């Protein structure tokens, strides 16, 4: 497949679809639906819905172009041996990680709330990566998965912009990957954090990445030009 040109800020980015991965961060019921981890922290989870449609568009384009697709899930072992006390102890004692909620135990692997939302459910063969932290590289096998496929460009979507998306892009940038935040495919419980989070990535000539969007990605994968 020939090189594609992605309309992005601060500058367009040339990439090879065969060496690019779409990484969809934590589009889990626990973050997007009432009764999950996000709501227990006092957030309005409806704010994350804005990213669902654009993520579906990016996912469809990535699947059609044969890109590597990786879905991440933040969560912990049922015995919580991998959950740092400093993380668990935050929030109300009855609604912490591991407590029972309407979607099962909060942020625990295997529980309904830990699963990815139906609209973005992984297709057979797509990578599903469980991570205990905010970054997708921390305590996971993401790096070897990317190395084995010769990936050099990460197209990053998901929630939340300033937490797990940002952490993953920072980790990826330090490891030498070209990291692109797909702006409309990301969302935050704090709209101003979303906006500023994206500004931070692309400031200073793209200090740790690029910012683009779902329609620019779709156009690039179809080898059509589009402004960012």
Residues annotated catalytic, as ranges: 26, 131, 164
Chain Cα centroid distance, residue 122: 13
How many residues comprise the chain?
Answer: 228
CA 48/CA 27 separation, integer angstroms: 9
Sign of CA dihedral 42, 47, 49, 51: negative
Stretch that binds ligand C5J, among 92-100, 123-131, 160-168, 202-210 (CB under 6 A): 160-168
Nearer to ligand C5J, 76 or 134 (CB): 134
Asked if residue 163 binds ligand C5J (CB under 6 A), the reply is yes
CB 8 within 8 A of CB 213: no
Question: Does 74 help bind ligand C5J (rule: CB under 6 A)?
Answer: yes
Nearest to 29 by CA among 113, 121, 101: 113
Measured from the CB atom, the residue of 6 and 24 that comes closer to ligand C5J is 24
115 is a site residue for ligand C5J (CB under 6 A): no
CB of 165 to ligand C5J, least distance (A): 7
Is residue 221 a contact residue for ligand C5J (CB under 6 A)?
Answer: no
**Judged by CB under 6 A, which of 6, 146, 159, 169 binds ligand C5J?**
159
Contact 160, 171 (CB under 8 A): no
Binding site for ligand C5J (CB under 6 A): 26, 31, 74, 134, 159-160, 163-164
């Amino acid at each position: 497949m020939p090189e594609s040109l992605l309309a992005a800020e601060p500058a367009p980015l040339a990439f090879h679809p065969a060496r690019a991965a779409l990484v969809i961060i934590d589009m889990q019921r626990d973050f997007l639906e009432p009764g999950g981890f996000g709501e227990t922290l006092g957030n309005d989870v409806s704010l994350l819905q804005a990213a669902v449609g654009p993520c579906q568009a990016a996912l469809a384009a990535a699947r059609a172009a044969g890109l590597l697709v990786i879905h991440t899930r933040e969560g912990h072992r049922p015995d919580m041996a991998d959950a740092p006390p400093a993380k668990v102890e935050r929030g109300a004692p009855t609604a912490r990680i591991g407590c029972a909620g309407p979607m099962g135990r909060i942020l625990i692997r295997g529980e309904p709330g830990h699963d990815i939302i139906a609209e973005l459910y992984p297709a057979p063969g797509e990578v599903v990566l469980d991570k205990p932290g905010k970054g997708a590289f921390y305590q996971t096998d993401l790096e070897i998965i990317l190395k084995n496929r010769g990936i050099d460009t990460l197209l990053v979507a998901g929630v939340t912009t300033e937490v797990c998306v940002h952490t993953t892009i920072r980790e990826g940038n330090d490891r030498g990957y070209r990291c692109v935040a797909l702006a409309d495919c990301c969302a935050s419980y704090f709209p101003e954090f979303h906006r500023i989070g994206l500004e931070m990535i692309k400031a200073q000539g793209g200090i740790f990445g690029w910012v683009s969007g779902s329609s620019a990605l779709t156009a690039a994968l179809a080898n059509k030009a589009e402004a960012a």
